[in-house]
Amino acid sequence: MLNLHEKFIVDEKGKRTAAVLPYAEWKKVAAILEEYEDICAYDKAKSLSSKPVSFTTAVKKLKARRS
């Protein structure tokens, strides 16, 4: 489990408006979020019904789109 040492910025009414993390903790959070996004993209790709394409074919299709 990630142990965060967050500090909060509050407005004049005491309502929390922002959170501040030590930079090292922020880097860990950002890495976790990036990994989560990758997992979501993978899950979405796996759920699509499509046939595998060879690398060579994929490159040809991408080059054709650029033209």
Q: Is residue 13 very low, low, confident or very high in pLDDT (cuts 50, 70, 90)?
A: very high
Whether 63 has a pLDDT exceeding 90, the answer reads yes
- Report the distance separating Cα 11 and Cα 6, nearest Å: 17
14 conformational bin, left if phi > 0, alpha if psi -120 to 50, beta if neither: left
- Report the distance separating Cα 12 and Cα 64, nearest Å: 58
pTM over 0.85: no
| pLDDT, position 67 | 79
29-57: pLDDT as tens digits: 999 999 999 999 999 988 987 888 899 99
Cβ–Cβ < 8 Å for 21, 4 = yes
| pLDDT, position 31 | 97
Mean pLDDT of the chain: 94
Beta bridge partners of 20: 7
